[in-house]
Structure 1
Amino acid sequence: MFHYKLNDHLILRQLQMDDAKAMFMAVESCREDLREFLPWIEATRQPSDCLAFIDLCLQSAERRQSLNLGIFENRKLIGCVNYNFIDWQNGSTSIGYWLDPMYQKKGIMTSAVQVLIDYAFYTLRLNRVEIRAATYNKKSRAIPEKLGFQKEGIIRQGEWLYDHYEDLVVYGLLAREWKH
């Protein structure tokens, strides 16, 4: 099971079934902020929705197809960071993330994403990490820009968000470019 200590108060660890209630509470506490960019928020209406999601995450991790981590501050779930899908044939993955707005702009997510980049390149021996974000999501876009990703382009209408399509910026980072 993946477990990483970011500092004295923050840890990254793989989500477990008994995290479902904590995940639901975290989502519920910042639902309106998360809804702006995350299409799965509307489908997350009760703790059992999080339980089903975590079950799928654990099955996918067992098959080495993804990795979903909770970000915990003193045992309180404050966000998640993950490999959406690991493409072993092409040596690549895509990172996604969300964080309670009360904890944003403190470098927490940048540190968490940096851990996943290290793990992708040094442990999993992948060649490429990608991050996609809505063109107007400046907070999410700031992370790959800060970490040295290359802006590779725009996927026009790349994500359905409730009642409309959103354009996505694609950022890529190759193992040989990673200097941390």
Structure 2
Amino acid sequence: MRSAWVGERVRLRAVEPEDWEAFHAFEEDSDAVRNGWRLHPPSSTAYAKKWAAAEAEREKDLDEFRLVIATRDGNAPVGSVNTHGIAREHGTFAYGISVGTPHQRKGYAGDAIVILLRYMFFERRFQKAEAWVYASNDASLGLHRRLGFVEEGRRRRSHYHAGRYDDEVLFGMTIEEFTERYA
């Protein structure tokens, strides 16, 4: 028996209450947080515990969700992936991904994205995935290009962080492009 949620390096799973500690630690790396979205003021241990408990109890949605990226063998959290921007009428969705700094450059993000796309394309019948990447995030730009995403556009100076404006680069992949590369 093989789980659709297990790849070569990672498994995607639901958030568990005890995951609070890993995610709280990931928030300590300001540069990594900025690369993913935006920097927030520090949160307390109590808040992190409450967040993880609430995520663990959140009602499941088949199309819009957040999953933990965990190591395949040890099941330790290394990051998260979430879907958003669901447009069922067009068959499109967007996703975000974040891997904690100590776990980057180990193939976890690429493996997680392939697992996610396989589910969204072949189980939920979507036809296109989109991802927005900040132009200063060289690692994520390279990752999406290596995975076969096509650069579709750029929103100039649309994100402000670390005292400067940054462009957002739109990447897209169709089900046909995915199938040709990963089926």
- Structure 1, gaps ≥5 residues long: none
- For the pair 1:88 / 2:88, whether they are aligned, the reply is yes
Cα RMSD for the two superposed structures: 2.7
In the TM superposition, what is the alpha-carbon distance from 1:85 to its structure 2 partner? 3.2
| Match of residue 44 from structure 2 | 46
Q: Which has the higher contact order (CA 8 A, sep 6+)?
A: 2
| Match of residue 120 from structure 1 | 120
| Match of residue 170 from structure 2 | 170
Partners of 1:48 and 1:3 in 2: CA distance: 34
- Structure 2, gaps ≥5 residues long: none
Partners of 1:57 and 1:171 in 2: CA distance: 30
User: Contact conserved, 1:24 with 1:44, CA < 8 A, in 2?
Assistant: no
Matches within 5 A, 1:1-150: 4-7=5-8, 10-28=10-28, 31-50=29-48, 51-52=50-51, 55=54, 59=58, 62-64=60-62, 66-73=64-71, 74-150=74-150
Q: What SS does structure 2 have at the residue aligned with 1:79? A: strand
User: Contact conserved, 2:14 with 2:66, CA < 8 A, in 1?
Assistant: yes
- TM-score normalised by L of structure 2: 0.79
* CA distances 1:103-122 after superposition (whole Å, capped 9, x unpaired): 22221111111111111111
Partners of 1:39 and 1:91 in 2: CA distance: 25
Count the aligned residue pairs: 175
Percentage identity across paired residues of the two chains: 21
